């Protein structure tokens, strides 16, 4: 498959500020795309049977480059017209949006497959770590090497 057009990667970023679903959808606006699939990951109030009070995401200095590579790989593997991935870093509260990924394609099936690959690969390959604080006073780091 050919190298993806750089214009396909519309929005790729790490931010300490709240994420906006409307910004991601607007970035993927494309009249040739019949399907746009969006995944929004939010901070939930529980994990491992414990109440979560809050969490913080920390990113390695190479995380943005890794995120760009993951987006480029998805764009190369799937017939998508647009890709976006934005991850929040810093302290987040319950209900806050932590990550948004989206892809746009001529057909919905491709958009669904590409978005699933994008979030799954982001979670496994981009060096972003979650520090959770629980209601019982314990804490844990998730995703650290």
Specify the CATH number for 6-142; select among 3.30.750.24, 1.10.287.70, 3.90.1170.40, 3.20.20.70. 3.90.1170.40
The pLDDT value recorded for residue 88 is: 98
Residues 8-30 have a mean pLDDT of: 96
121's CB contacts (< 8 A; 6+ apart) are: 70, 73, 74
What average pLDDT score do residues 20-48 get? 95
User: Under 8 Å CB-to-CB from 20, ≥6 apart: which residues?
Assistant: none
CB 126, CB 87: distance < 8 Å: yes
Name residue 54's beta-bridge partners.
133
Average pLDDT over residues 44-70: 95
CA-based nearest residue to 104, from 38, 40, 39, 36: 36
Q: Where are the domains of the chain?
A: 6-142
State the pLDDT at residue 1.
Answer: 40
With 80 as the cut, is the pLDDT of residue 4 above it?
no
pLDDT of residue 3: 60
Contact 136, 105 (CB under 8 A): no
SS (H, E, C) 100-126: EEEEEECCHHHHHHHHHHHHHHHHHHC
Q: What letter does residue 16 receive in the DSSP assignment?
A: S
Of 76-80, 87-91, 139-143, the least confident = 139-143
Query: Does residue 135 register a pLDDT over 90?
Result: yes
Higher pLDDT, residue 5 or 143: 143
Q: For residue range 111-133, what is the model confidence (pLDDT) as tens digits?
A: 999 999 999 999 999 999 999 99
Token pair listed for 112: 């669904």
Is the pLDDT at 110 greater than 90, yes or no? Answer: yes
**Res 83: pLDDT:** 98
Rounded to whole angstroms, how far apart are CA atoms 70 and 73? 5
Triad 6, 88, 9: Cα angle to 5°: 10
């Amino acid at each position: 498959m050919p190298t993806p057009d750089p214009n396909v990667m519309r929005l790729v970023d790490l931010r300490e500020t709240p994420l906006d679903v409307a910004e991601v959808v607007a970035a993927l606006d494309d009249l040739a795309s019949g399907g746009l699939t969006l995944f929004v990951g939010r901070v939930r109030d529980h994990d491992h049977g414990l109440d979560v009070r809050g969490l913080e995401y920390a990113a390695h200095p190479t995380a943005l480059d890794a995120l760009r590579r993951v987006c480029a790989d998805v764009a190369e593997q799937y017939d998508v017209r647009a890709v976006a991935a934005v991850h929040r870093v810093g302290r987040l509260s319950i209900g806050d949006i932590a990550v948004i990924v989206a892809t746009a394609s001529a057909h919905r099936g491709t958009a669904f497959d590409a978005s699933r690959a994008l979030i799954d690969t982001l979670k496994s390959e981009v060096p972003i770590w979650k520090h959770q604080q629980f209601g019982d006073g314990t804490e844990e780091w998730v995703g650290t090497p």
